[in-house]
Amino acid sequence: MTQAAKLRHLLQQDQCHIMPCCFDALSAKLIAQEGYALTFMSGFGASASRIGAPDLGLMSYGEVIDQARNIAGAVDIPLIGDGDTGYGNAMNVRRTVEGFARAGCAAVMIEDQLAPKRCGHTPGKAVVGRDEAFDRIRAAVDAREDLRANGGDILILARTDARHDHGLGEAIARAEKFAEIGADILFVEAPRSEEEMREICSAVPLPQMANIVEGGETPDLPNAVLQDIGYSIAAYPLSLMAAAMQAMVTCLRSMQSDERPGRMDFAELRQRIGFDDYYSESEKYATSKR
């Protein structure tokens, strides 16, 4: 079963899947080890971890694809890639979708922000006009169909940030059109109440993704409530990165005082990274024992 087929199977289930978002291959591996069914390459996290810079459109297409390829190669659960605005016009969107498919992603997100894009819960974001937004998704769907015709596969996650400047009605209208064009999953970013979230999910009968940013504009609701509202995926884009950064800062400050804070022991660290699997597998080959 392809990763895209695995994702379709998950979306057919009557369940809101909790989806911690990764930022590199190791964080994705930990997500898979803890039994989560899917993950998403957070643009916020990937930009921070790869180039040490904010998610403001600074990472190039090539850097993003390389990051996605490394992550997809480390896990066997579906990975959704962040394709941002598609990196140009409709023809660039097609290339972006094809690139994420070749990298091993089960789905790619394409959004309607004005380039350079911004994190959906930070100031200064704006969206393109309807025609350009619809062209992006139309190009993404066309690329998906061409991939299928040639033995490939990927799902299209269509995102709109129109709620911020144009209101919920415009955001829902765009989502409805994205569904009509042929998107597989919808993502209306930054609804501001449970009532808005329910309106979004009731408007379009497609799998919907909620984006839960701790301290962001969208209510951080329990998973059971998100499922009742109608969401198929609950993404947590910053939870792992925030926890990892806090742990590293705590460790660094403790070391300055010549303390040794609690941390994962060396044996578990080796096991989770894959040393034990490597040594076990290498036993089959005589030259690897030297």
Q: Where are the domains of the chain?
A: 3-239, 247-289
pLDDT per residue over 102-152, tens digit each?
999 999 999 999 987 766 556 667 999 999 999 999 999 999 999 999 999
Helix intervals (H) in 40-129: 43-51, 61-74, 90-103
On whether the pTM is more than 0.85, the answer is yes
pLDDT per residue over 202-241, tens digit each?
998 899 999 999 988 999 999 999 999 999 999 999 999 9
- Average pLDDT taken over every residue of the chain: 95
Beta carbons of 160 and 229 less than 8 angstroms apart:
no
pLDDT, position 122: 60
CA dihedral 115, 187, 103, 132 (to 10 degrees): -40
Mean pLDDT of 239-268: 92
Spatial distance between the Cα atoms of 47 and 53, rounded to a whole number of angstroms: 6
pLDDT, position 116: 76
Fold of 3-239: TIM Barrel (3.20.20)
Beta carbons of 107 and 9 less than 8 angstroms apart:
no
Mean pLDDT of 72-88: 97
pLDDT-derived band at 261 (thresholds 50, 70, 90) equals: confident
pLDDT, position 203: 95
